[in-house]
């Protein structure tokens, strides 16, 4: 779906711009105020949740010489086309080394704009 690809391209471009500026406002503009994210690693027993107001700038400051990309593997609309789930693989290149994760993003149409409602990130390896 072209719409899903465009949303993901814009979202990851906001991440890449924010990785340079260390300002998370561009990323947060894509997020619903009801946003909940979950991050895990293969050795993690339970994912760690984070919310709309998490310290995004602290995360950005931890990553220098970094760039994110995303490869979509599946898109499904639901809830009368008011929500969209996007599955795929995220790659973070940090100082030339790739860190990959399997991801699911849940987007919700809020007043005519797609906002990120939930994300699930499972770091590979």
Summarize pLDDT for 39-54 with one digit per residue, the tens. 998 888 899 899 999 9
Partners of 37 in beta bridges: 50, 119
24 in Cβ contact with 60 (< 8 Å): yes
pLDDT tens digits along 77-103: 999 999 999 999 999 999 999 999 999
64 in Cβ contact with 45 (< 8 Å): no
DSSP string, 49-116: EEETTS-HHHHHHT-SSEEEEEEEEEEEEETTTTEEEEEEEEEEEETTEEEEEEEEEEEEEETTEEEE
**Location of structure tokens 């599946």:** 74
Name which of 62-66, 81-85, 103-107 the model is least confident about: 62-66
Mean pLDDT calculated for residue range 5-34: 97
């Amino acid at each position: 779906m072209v719409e899903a690809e465009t949303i993901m391209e814009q979202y990851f471009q906001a991440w890449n711009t924010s990785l340079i500026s260390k300002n998370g406002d561009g990323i947060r503009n894509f997020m619903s105020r009801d946003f909940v994210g979950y991050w895990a690693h293969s050795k993690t027993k339970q994912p760690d949740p984070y919310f709309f107001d998490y310290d995004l700038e602290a995360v950005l400051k931890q990553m220098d010489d970094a760039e994110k990309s995303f490869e979509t593997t599946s898109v499904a609309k639901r809830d009368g086309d008011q929500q969209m789930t996007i599955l795929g693989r995220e790659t973070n290149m940090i100082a030339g080394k790739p860190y990959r994760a399997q991801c699911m993003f849940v987007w919700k149409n809020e007043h005519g704009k797609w906002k990120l409602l939930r994300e699930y990130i499972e770091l590979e390896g």
